[in-house]
Amino acid sequence: MTDDRLEGLLAEQIAYYRARADEYDRTYPVDAGARARLLGELEAHAPYGRVLELACGTGQWTVELARHATTLTAVDAAPEVLAICRQRMGAADVDLIEADLFRWRPPERYDLVFFSAWLSHVPPQRFDAFWDLVADCLEPGGRVFVIDELPAVATVEHAAPDQPAPAVHREVGGGATFRAVKVLYSPSELVARLGSLGWTVEITTVGWRFFCASLGRDKGCDQS
C-alpha cells in the first residue's frame, strides 16, 4: 500500500465529482424529510458568525449557511461544482475557493466549520491530519457541524476491493466508472476516535442513512 496508490485513488475521486457535477443534484439520495431534520439540527447553531464550508459541492448546503452567516467561505476541488454553486448562490456574498482539501490551509479562523458528505471520503490514513486542519480552521470556542452517512449505506454501494483505502465504484451518466474513498463510521466509533483527538462530539442519527454531528474542542486542547 504505497502513497502513490492512495494519491491515485484521491485523484480519481476528484475526477468523479468533476464528471458528476451536472447530475449531482438530481441523484444525491437525501429525501425532503431527512433534509428537513438535518437542516433543523444545523439551524440550532444559528447565527453562525464567520463560516467555512469544506467540500461544498454544488452548494446544496451553502445556500442554507448563507442565511445565517456573517461571512461565508466555501472550498471544493472541482471547478465544475463550484460553477454550479456560484449560480445557485446568486447575489449572496460567498468566497468560493478551488483547492484540494488535503493540501489547502486556511488563511484565517472561523466560528463554524461545516462539511456534508465529505468525512466518508477522507482515507483512514489522512483522518488525523484532516482533523488537525479542521482544528486550525476554528476560532477558540468555535464549532464544527458534520453531515454524512451511516454504515447501513454499505448495502447499496459497490465495494472496490484491493484499494489503498476503503473504496467504492461509482458510475456517472454515460457509463464511465470511477473509484472513490468511502469510509462509513458508526456513531460510537466516531465519538471514540474523535475523542482521542481532543474533540467533544454529539451525534444524531436521521433515518437509516444519515447522521449529523456537532463538535467542539476539549477545553484543554491548544488552539493557539
Average pLDDT (104-112) is 97
Whether residue 33 is predicted with pLDDT greater than 90 in this model: the reply is: yes
pLDDT at 221: 73
Q: What is the pTM of this model?
A: 0.96
List domains and CATH numbers for the chain. Answer: 3-214 (3.40.50.150)
When the pLDDT of each residue in the chain is averaged and rounded to a whole number, the result is 95
pLDDT at 224: 46
pLDDT at 222: 54
> Buried (b) or exposed (e) across 76-99, using 16+ Cβ within 10 A?
bbbebbbebbbebbeeeebebbee
Q: Report CA 161 to chain centroid distance, whole Å.
A: 24
Of 19-23, 27-31, 100-104, 201-205, least confident by mean pLDDT is 27-31
Name the H helices within the chain.
Answer: 3-27, 32-43, 62-66, 79-89, 127-137, 187-195
CA distances from 8 to 12, 13, 39, 63, 124 (A): 6, 9, 34, 32, 15
Whether residue 110 is predicted with pLDDT greater than 60 in this model: the reply is: yes
Check: CB of residue 39 under 8 Å from CB of residue 65. Answer: no
Average pLDDT (195-203) is 98
